[in-house]
């Protein structure tokens, strides 16, 4: 691309921006902020064949890119998707075993073809990792298949209020099932608490409620809460905290004799049985110990957040089912092509420029079949930091803002278990256990209960711990995860196939900048305002980083809706 094209004049760019002003009714500087205040979860409703004769370059074949391509191509736009990697899905990566029996099963059960089957990956400068999960005990009779074994190396769950993703899944007939975020049997572990031994979540959670209720009862009994209760009935308050904390004593006695002495809500050291076997309660954990544990700093209140309810949703068979189904959708006026046919894998974009006085966009790419082409519009879903490095003629303020977006490091480790020890030994069925060690978390599968084997997310960390974890070699990460797992489950390394572990650091993956943008709208509000100052001529952005839900597929889908509607708005104006 010539220097004159790449350095389109300021006058040309301003003309293009002015021409796009009418489209701001649907997407632009003012309406992006307004969109944050409305649901905007419904799919774009475009006039039939509105895109006839118009072309769009979409950069990235992740959730945002494929969703954008699907709706644009359905509306008659000529869409070309440039994907830098040699696979689809972006950060929605579900790893499946390399064994042929699994490939056959996943093709017959879910329609996953060889061209979209992910059984290996490689970080920048790292070893090739191959998913070698395998059910050694599966029944080899003709017509039978092994148990499902896969690892969601990227997104792993969908909150119930992520309406845009769920609407898209419903439209695509993606089968959903519960994802169990938390159970009271999940474990908490810290080397600074309980001599390093794990403790069940229910014990900390209910003992904390009891201790707080005990304090409130004493304050109320002494009349010290009267100024704060206002017109509320004190007896009702006392009866409420008795139930809340499972206190002993009578609230009718003004709370003075109410106290906490442990509760069966926290579980049993010896379970009750038949006959004269009443069971034995755990000794309750005192407030001082709970505060010293610092589990309140993060772990025990997670399930109170709106997007981490105790039960969420997941596509049956893996998180990649959403984009797997998107690839198969028929598009175009005659439905003669699939979304997958629009994607050019292994072609990283190297330059984007508004040309022809801002009425066109020229895209240049390298890779398998390098080239350049002029389009009517462009949607970039690249990480903002990477987009800033592509040669462009965006405004200086816009490009600088893209480069300054903070990215969140994120890592995962995956194991195959020799047997489902968390169910048989610890009575854990789904959910997440937490440790203060570098691995941070262990996720248990929310399906396949009572199966012979299963897969565990053996580490999931983010931020500074993930940055350090990602600097370790693959084998060092696995060893750290084995040690961390051993703190939660005794003899952990003997209960998993240690030689089949996989690890991924998203900040090290080719053509990615990290796991997600680090809550840009909140932590960098000025930067967020500037990167949402689009379109830049005929270039739109999509991706979770231009949403108030970074790191979630919901942000990716909603941003795709905005970009698609913005392009449709410009076409409507140009057609008058």
Model confidence at 303, pLDDT cuts 50, 70, 90, reads: confident
H-only helix segments in 393-463: 396-403, 421-424
Cis preceding linkage at 535, omega within 30: yes
d(CA 443, CA 457): 5
Q: Give the pLDDT score at 255.
A: 67
Q: What is the pLDDT of residues 379-419, one digit of tens each?
A: 999 999 999 999 999 999 999 999 999 999 999 999 999 99
d(CA 326, CA 568): 21
Q: Give the pLDDT score at 110.
A: 94
> Which phi and psi (to 5°) does residue 93 adopt?
-115, 115
Q: Give the pLDDT score at 257.
A: 86
Question: Contact 241/210 with Cβ under 8 angstroms?
Answer: no
> Which phi and psi (to 5°) does residue 190 adopt?
-150, 135
The closest alpha carbon to 571, from 376, 314, 291, 419, belongs to: 376
Mean predicted lDDT score pLDDT of the chain:
90
Joined together, the tokens standing for residue 212 give 């707080």
Lowest-pLDDT range, 17-21, 140-144, 179-183, 230-234? 17-21
H-only helix segments in 396-497: 396-403, 421-424, 464-471, 474-488, 492-495
Instruction: Please give the DSSP secondary-structure letter assigned to residue 536.
Output: B
d(CA 83, CA 65): 9
d(CA 320, CA 119): 13
Q: Give the pLDDT score at 423.
A: 97
For the segment 372-380, the average pLDDT, to the nearest whole number, is: 98
Q: Give the pLDDT score at 16.
A: 37
Model confidence at 15, pLDDT cuts 50, 70, 90, reads: very low
d(CA 63, CA 90): 7
Question: Contact 439/461 with Cβ under 8 angstroms?
Answer: yes
Q: What is the pLDDT of residues 468-503, one digit of tens each?
A: 999 999 999 999 999 999 999 999 999 999 999 999
d(CA 94, CA 91): 9
pTM of the entire structure? 0.90
d(CA 137, CA 114): 25
d(CA 564, CA 41): 13
pLDDT over 60 (residue 280):
yes
d(CA 234, CA 240): 10
pLDDT over 60 (residue 378):
yes
d(CA 509, CA 214): 51
Strand ranges in 210-307 using DSSP code E only, listed in sequence order: 268-270, 280-281
pLDDT over 90 (residue 137):
no
Q: What is the pLDDT of residues 91-122, one digit of tens each?
A: 999 999 999 989 999 999 999 999 999 999 99
Q: Give the pLDDT score at 139.
A: 62
Lowest-pLDDT range, 45-49, 61-65, 307-311, 507-511? 307-311
Question: Contact 558/532 with Cβ under 8 angstroms?
Answer: no
Q: Is 16 left (phi over 0), alpha (psi -120 to 50) or beta?
A: alpha
Model confidence at 33, pLDDT cuts 50, 70, 90, reads: very low
Lowest-pLDDT range, 73-87, 291-305, 380-394, 552-566? 291-305
Q: Give the pLDDT score at 22.
A: 34
Q: What is the pLDDT of residues 37-60, one digit of tens each?
A: 445 678 888 988 999 999 999 999
Instruction: Please give the DSSP secondary-structure letter assigned to residue 549.
Output: S
Residues with Cβ within 8 Å of 46's Cβ and at least 6 positions away in sequence, in order, are 71, 74, 75, 564, 565, 568
Model confidence at 466, pLDDT cuts 50, 70, 90, reads: very high
For the segment 355-369, the average pLDDT, to the nearest whole number, is: 94
d(CA 188, CA 208): 14
In the Cβ-directed half-sphere of 51, how many Cα atoms lie within 13 Å? 26
Joined together, the tokens standing for residue 90 give 């972006």
d(CA 28, CA 522): 20
């Amino acid at each position: 691309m010539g220097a004159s094209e790449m350095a389109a004049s300021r006058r040309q760019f301003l003309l293009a921006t002015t021409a796009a002003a009418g489209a701001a009714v649907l997407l632009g500087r003012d309406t992006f902020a307004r969109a944050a205040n409305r649901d905007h979860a419904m799919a774009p409703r475009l006039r039939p064949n509105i895109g006839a004769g118009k072309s769009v370059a979409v950069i990235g074949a992740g959730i945002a890119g494929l969703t954008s391509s699907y709706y644009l191509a359905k509306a008659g736009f000529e869409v070309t998707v440039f994907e830098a990697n040699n696979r689809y899905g972006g950060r929605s990566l579900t790893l499946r075993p390399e064994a042929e029996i699994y490939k056959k099963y996943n093709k017959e059960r879910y329609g996953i073809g060889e061209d979209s089957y992910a059984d290996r990956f490689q970080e920048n400068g790292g070893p090739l990792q191959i998913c070698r999960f395998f059910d050694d005990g599966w029944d080899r009779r003709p017509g039978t298949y092994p148990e499902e074994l896969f690892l969601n190396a990227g997104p792993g769950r969908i909150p119930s209020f992520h309406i845009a993703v769920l609407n898209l899944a419903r439209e695509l007939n993606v089968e959903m099932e519960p994802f169990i975020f938390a159970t009271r049997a999940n474990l908490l572990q810290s080397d600074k608490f309980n001599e390093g031994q794990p403790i069940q979540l229910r014990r900390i959670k209910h003992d904390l409620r009891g201790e707080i209720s005990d304090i409130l009862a004493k304050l109320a009994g002494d009349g010290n809460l009267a100024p704060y209760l206002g017109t509320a009935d004190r007896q009702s308050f006392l009866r409420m905290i008795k139930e809340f904390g499972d206190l002993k004593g009578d609230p009718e006695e003004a709370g003075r004799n109410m106290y906490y002495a442990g509760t069966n809500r926290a579980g049993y050291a010896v379970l009750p049985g038949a006959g004269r076997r009443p069971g034995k309660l755990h000794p309750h954990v005192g407030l001082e110990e709970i505060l010293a544990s610092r589990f309140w700093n993060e772990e025990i209140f997670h399930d109170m957040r709106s997007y981490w309810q105790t039960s969420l949703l997941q596509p049956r068979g893996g998180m990649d089912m959403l984009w797997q189904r998107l690839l198969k959708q028929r598009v175009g006026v005659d439905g003669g092509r699939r979304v997958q046919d629009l994607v050019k894998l292994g072609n990283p974009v190297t330059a984007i420029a508004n040309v022809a006085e801002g009425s066109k966009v020229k895209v240049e790419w390298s890779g398998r079949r390098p080239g350049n082409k002029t389009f009517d519009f462009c949607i970039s879903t690249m990480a903002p930091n990477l987009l800033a490095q592509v040669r462009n003629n965006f405004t200086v303020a816009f490009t600088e803002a893209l480069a300054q977006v903070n990215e969140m490091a994120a890592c995962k480790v995956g194991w195959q278990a020799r047997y489902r020890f968390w169910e048989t030994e610890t009575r854990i069925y789904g959910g997440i256990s937490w440790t203060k060690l570098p691995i941070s978390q262990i996720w248990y599968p929310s399906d396949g209960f009572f199966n012979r084997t299963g897969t565990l997310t053996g580490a999931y960390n983010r931020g500074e711990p993930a940055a350090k974890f990602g600097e370790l070699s693959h084998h060092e990460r696995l060893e750290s995860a084995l040690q961390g797992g051993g703190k939660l489950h005794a003899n952990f390394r003997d209960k998993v196939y240690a030689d089949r572990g996989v690890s991924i650091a998203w900040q090290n993956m080719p053509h990615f900048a990290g796991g997600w943008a680090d809550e840009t709208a909140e932590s960098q509000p000025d930067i967020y305002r500037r990167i949402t100052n689009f379109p830049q001529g005929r270039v739109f952005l999509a991706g979770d980083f231009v949403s108030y839900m970074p790191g979630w597929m919901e942000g990716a889908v909603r941003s795709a809706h905005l970009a698609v509607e913005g392009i449709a708005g410009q076409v409507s104006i140009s057609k008058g």
